[in-house]
Amino acid sequence: MARPQPLMTTVHSWSDIPEFPSEAEEAAWWSSHDLGDELLARMRPVPLTSEESAERSARTRPVAVRFDEFTIQRLRALAALRNTGYQTLLKEFVNERLYEEEKRAGVV
């Protein structure tokens, strides 16, 4: 028989959130608490520092690759089964194949 889910306690004020002596205790506390809509509505993104912004943009670079519609549909369907994005799955496939080819060529 399935274990019943614990009831979530909604936090309505930042002062309701205690100081945690450890990350494990904080994780345990948040497993039974969530932020109320009024707190979520007041949250704003924190701007990135110039270093963070440069690092983020340096991580990836867009590349245009054309695929026929059938291939894209197959990729999207497989990505959905794996609960991931199709572009993420495509990057994984390219990286895996690149590694195999590098091994074959004796590069790695």
pLDDT, position 60: 80
What is the C-alpha separation between 10 and 26, in angstroms, rounded?
Answer: 15
pLDDT, position 62: 85
pLDDT tens digits, 21-55: 999 999 999 999 999 999 888 888 888 888 888 87
Hey, where are the domains in the chain? Answer: 9-42, 63-105
pLDDT tens digits, 54-86: 877 777 888 999 999 999 999 999 999 999 999
pLDDT at residue 100 greater than cutoff 70 = yes
pLDDT, position 2: 61
Tokens of residue 22, six digits: 């450890």
pLDDT at residue 96 greater than cutoff 80 = yes
Tokens of residue 80, six digits: 């959905």
What is the C-alpha separation between 94 and 70, in angstroms, rounded?
Answer: 18
What is the C-alpha separation between 3 and 26, in angstroms, rounded?
Answer: 22
Phi, psi (5° rounding) for residue 27? -60, -40
pLDDT, position 3: 63
